[in-house]
Structure 1
């Protein structure tokens, strides 16, 4: 029997009956399907938030007898992308029998280790702290979600009363309690005291819903969320304007983005005082409604209520006391104006830690803000990588939605600071952080690569991204950029069509880098072209084109890159940076029919030495990579350059790779990846005290030896 297609206004009905029928008989597959479509709607739960489970009858491998097994999202997973490998499978009877050894709430953390004694599936992911919350409820299918609408009711001052009246007693209510073994017992008690309920609202936290089948569970979840959403919509703006109405007017979209791009590197510098951070910016209308409002000063310091929110956003944001249309040309003056706010934020966070820590609390973490609000402009978030920064931003938008809804129907309440601290510095949460993989060599760094659509530029971008960098691809040709950008997943890259000979066009690329990631740390000047002609055939247009693209282009890109790197240092920490210029063996070796190209490449090399001498005080390193004859995969060799070089050496175009390889000391053909490896060597920290150098990647051409 086909499931009827449902129409919801506030959530997305994504159940595809044809897909579900193909999974019929495999309850675990249906659990994964349900989880993924629930996680696809950010109004239902955000990345990494919530948990889902199902219970099945399996054959016990030890006794051969049927036994009930619970399949649940493992620790640190995300229901939107959940796969079978991300599940934990546990014996239900063993899990429930843990109640016999439970010593009380002050000892409940010790129960997490005992979950491992309940594992049925030896390939299980580590069971999460939510495991007993699902295990102590008798239902076959259970969803634990963090919908904005439900958390708004859960975080309202009159949460219990609203829950009882809105659902006419069909929903249970449990007051705020940290997730864990004891909360599982409280859910079990709530169900026992209220038989026949369809779900339970967790004060300040979220909701539990269930069903006999995966579909019934899914529908129950959507219906409960829809009802809460309708209730909030009916009350929002009814008695008073949302968030008390607007106090500040937003700049227009173009101006917002200009201001954000100009300030982002300064903010990144402040936020990177303890660890290099990646930024994210949004001027989402929900954000603007909140940050421009009269209630901002009241609500922002209260902080977020749901643990999933503040674990990623910190309790409270930093609100900038800065006019939206402030002149930002004097970055030093702006940084001096902002410094006291960052100092106050760090002190307040330190006081929060010192006033609430326990003897066994983990060491204090980074004291800088994660979320920064700029009324009239938008919201910045800073974290160790782009995904974490973006997700923090999404979670704070969830928090805004919660505050909006709670204020519409009652009064928003946040967690007591001690409760919040006990979640943030929970030893189990610390253990999860310690299990995370170590950062790669370029994690936290941002690289802008000109000529990013070409073979060498693309190889460099791939190499730097593989080592953890965020990359900004710049090129004249959007088709090439789109193709190259497709090499990367979300949160790794962006691109900007830019002409390196045009100052305004170069600015667009750096603004994109600042908006997407917060600034720049590595600039790779790879844009170029090649013209091979004898002097009598070299026109002024040929000469000017080579000088403009290769020399002027390197100057303009380097100039703007340095300006951003210097902005990032205004926060008090010299983050420095790297400029790597892709020149050529031809800048060192005199060859035939090459006056225009060779002169431009020599200018590149000497400009690099001059900049290295000038920028050392800023901890900005400037180095050169000299390729030679990178024919395979290089765009330069697709045109007349190959014909010109073949003519100069008396060989055919097809014979060029072998010709160049034979004249090297190592008899090697060179590839774009070889140049990328050289760029990595200059930027990954191994050569952190080297500047003004030239690294030949030419297979060994004795005439090009620098010394």
Structure 2
């Protein structure tokens, strides 16, 4: 075992000598390698947080002379996945010469545009606001991270004194200040006043460490954070129970999840009053320790200290005034009880905005909470998409870790309200928000498509995911479902799709699927009844079992799924869409089709009945009538193709051409064609349409709706 690994208990030593040796001589490649290692351990820094740099000598393309260039993580991105393209490259001399035009802290925002005049590699990433923090320090390799263990000390009332004593003066201290040009100058001044130090602690913010090589910087960073974490561990419990001890007892795991699933859609409805939000739930042990403690009421309103935490979790969480064992199944009663709590939070946020705003501040943003704490149950978070809400949840756990550590060694101090506002409504932050891509049509929407592991259902789910929706992949076959999940994860990442086994003929299975949907994403906005089966036999060959199977899957399944979908949509009170995949056979009479055709007709009329019933709830119910979707469709299994070929007096191989030839457009119908039709209904262009039927059959005159 590498002896370096044995000195670490609280962080992960991941340096691979062989991999590093292969990069020898390329300091930028070693910077990327080091950054990826640091970002892989969330105890070292948060997702998307922190930045790293290296300084190298390079040839100036304008003069041919050797010049010093700094490569530093650019604006945005994540250390754990960063590549060379995520770095900004600047002339060090030019960056430092900006001190000649710097007009003081009240004008430092204007310096950001001047960073562009210092760019060495024109193809590199845009420089971030933290660029001068690296540029004014002389070290070849620098790490700026936000480890919970260090921030706990940085956010402690006695943080400066503790840092001095813990490191025997080897770590400097700079009081809290918003990142920018002036903070870079203060870091330089701290180093000049304390020559020989190995790092600098930023009050309430994070940690700077460095080295003359990539490895020296890496090992220095790990050693400093390890010492911080060990110090906290040694002090837990010395002042008394963590967070003042336990106030309530958390519900058992199964009860927590059941209660969270019932409540999540109601909370999502409140949080979506301004913009449709995606939810996330966790009952992590660290969360339960905090929300079930005596100190929750004192610490939660204080908010977070580190700007990285604050920007993602808002000024403070909403702590629900609900008992763990409270009955949350009565939606009307829950809404009545929760409405004043949300109004109070929104009023608090408005007061915070109005009391802190400047003459040029951007308009107030969404006043709803991001983090919602339910003592005894867990933590909900709500944001514009699943990744953002999951990361917000992770950041609040970071904040809990910070509060726990700071309280163990001293007293926790949060970011002052005005400073928090200055970060949240910083004009540079607002400009970054304005540069973000426009949301896709289905952003903030959650879709459950039955039978979505293959064929038409998978195509619909894929289309919806491409347009920004979160999708719930489900199937009765676990192996097929897992294959679909792998495909979705590979294409869209970990946050787009959740999965659950679902048998549409079993109400208990459907209830579990909707509960899983609520826990994964907070609720549901679009339900597509797509799960199907096809049996083609003459009336005399049809068995009672055939008949019951068709009606159970197609008709009963659509009824049961729609029923629970409506219940969840009503909890959210934000409307929704139900799309039923029916068939041209619901209106066209043909041979050997008594069971399937009549079941499809029942589906079609049930669609019309629900459209008539649910209009007041703003729940739209529409129908797509496909025909002859042969490619990748499970509907052709089980003898259906043989049955239809027999009915038409042709071979199975001749079916595709036969179906295409009988259409007015002479087209083969693909699963993607059905997906596009479903998207047309939910894209926003048809928000005032319900009770409609859209034929996707290439044009079959007998199927025209008359």
Using structure 2 for the length normalisation, give the TM-score. Answer: 0.99
Q: Which moved more, 1:12-21 or 1:303-312?
A: 12-21
User: In the alignment, which residue of structure 1 is the partner of 2:540?
Assistant: 536
Q: Distance in 2 between matches of 1:604 and 1:100?
A: 75
Q: Distance in 2 between matches of 1:695 and 1:497?
A: 29
CA contact (8 A) 2:454 2:634 kept: yes
Report deviation, 1:218: 0.5
1:184-231 C-alpha deviation (Å, 9 max, x unpaired): 000000000000000000000000000011111010000000000000
Q: Which moved more, 1:147-156 or 1:655-664?
A: 655-664
Q: Distance in 2 between matches of 1:237 and 1:661?
A: 75
CA contact (8 A) 1:496 1:509 kept: yes
Whether 2:271 is the aligned partner of 1:271: answer yes
1:38-85 C-alpha deviation (Å, 9 max, x unpaired): 111111111111010001111000000000000011111211111111
CA contact (8 A) 2:535 2:638 kept: no
CA contact (8 A) 2:4 2:13 kept: no
CA contact (8 A) 1:72 1:88 kept: yes
What are the residue-to-residue correspondences of 1:512-531 with 2, within 5 Å?
512-531=516-535
- Which of 484, 491, 498 is equivalent to 2:495? 491
What are the residue-to-residue correspondences of 1:99-498 with 2, within 5 Å?
99-488=99-488, 489-498=493-502
Q: Distance in 1 between matches of 2:319 and 2:26?
A: 50
Q: Distance in 2 between matches of 1:304 and 1:348?
A: 16
Report deviation, 1:639: 2.6
CA contact (8 A) 2:472 2:497 kept: yes
Q: Distance in 1 between matches of 2:408 and 2:54?
A: 35
CA contact (8 A) 1:7 1:13 kept: no
1:425-479 C-alpha deviation (Å, 9 max, x unpaired): 0001101111110000000000001011121100000000000000001210111
Q: Distance in 2 between matches of 1:17 and 1:450?
A: 50
CA contact (8 A) 1:322 1:374 kept: yes
User: In the alignment, which residue of structure 2 is the partner of 1:572?
Assistant: none
User: In the alignment, which residue of structure 1 is the partner of 2:649?
Assistant: 650
1:212-269 C-alpha deviation (Å, 9 max, x unpaired): 1111101000000000000000001122010011101011111100000000000000
SS in structure 1 at match of 2:540: helix
CA contact (8 A) 1:288 1:378 kept: yes
Whether 2:695 is the aligned partner of 1:691: answer no
1:636-668 C-alpha deviation (Å, 9 max, x unpaired): 113311111111111111111111111111111
Can you give the 5+ residue segments of structure 2 that lack an aligned partner in the other structure?
none
Q: Distance in 2 between matches of 1:475 and 1:550?
A: 15
CA contact (8 A) 1:462 1:487 kept: no
The alignment of Structure 1 onto Structure 2 pairs a total of residues equal to: 701
* Deviant stretches of 4+, over 4 Å: 2-7
Residue 563 to residue 175, structure 1, CA distance change in 2 (3 Å): same
SS in structure 2 at match of 1:590: coil
SS in structure 1 at match of 2:694: strand
SS in structure 2 at match of 1:533: coil
Report deviation, 1:4: 4.8
CA contact (8 A) 2:152 2:401 kept: yes
SS in structure 2 at match of 1:361: coil
Q: Distance in 1 between matches of 2:440 and 2:693?
A: 25
SS in structure 1 at match of 2:55: strand
Q: Which moved more, 1:353-362 or 1:236-245?
A: 236-245
User: In the alignment, which residue of structure 1 is the partner of 2:93?
Assistant: 93
Q: Distance in 1 between matches of 2:31 and 2:185?
A: 24
Q: Distance in 1 between matches of 2:300 and 2:3?
A: 43
1:464-519 C-alpha deviation (Å, 9 max, x unpaired): 00000000012101111111112222110011101111111101110111000000
SS in structure 2 at match of 1:616: helix
Q: Distance in 2 between matches of 1:217 and 1:106?
A: 33
Whether 2:79 is the aligned partner of 1:75: answer no
CA contact (8 A) 1:54 1:70 kept: yes
CA contact (8 A) 1:3 1:17 kept: no
User: In the alignment, which residue of structure 2 is the partner of 1:679?
Assistant: 678
User: In the alignment, which residue of structure 1 is the partner of 2:600?
Assistant: 601
Q: Distance in 1 between matches of 2:612 and 2:165?
A: 73
Q: Distance in 2 between matches of 1:41 and 1:4?
A: 17
Report deviation, 1:419: 0.7
User: In the alignment, which residue of structure 2 is the partner of 1:586?
Assistant: 585
Using structure 1 for the length normalisation, give the TM-score. Answer: 0.98
Q: Distance in 2 between matches of 1:239 and 1:182?
A: 38
SS in structure 1 at match of 2:68: strand
1:114-133 C-alpha deviation (Å, 9 max, x unpaired): 00000000012111010000
Report deviation, 1:3: 8.8
Q: Distance in 1 between matches of 2:526 and 2:17?
A: 49
Q: Distance in 2 between matches of 1:41 and 1:365?
A: 33
Q: Distance in 2 between matches of 1:171 and 1:101?
A: 31
Q: Distance in 2 between matches of 1:243 and 1:631?
A: 61
SS in structure 1 at match of 2:42: coil
Whether 2:25 is the aligned partner of 1:25: answer yes
What do you get for the CA RMSD once the two structures are aligned?
0.9
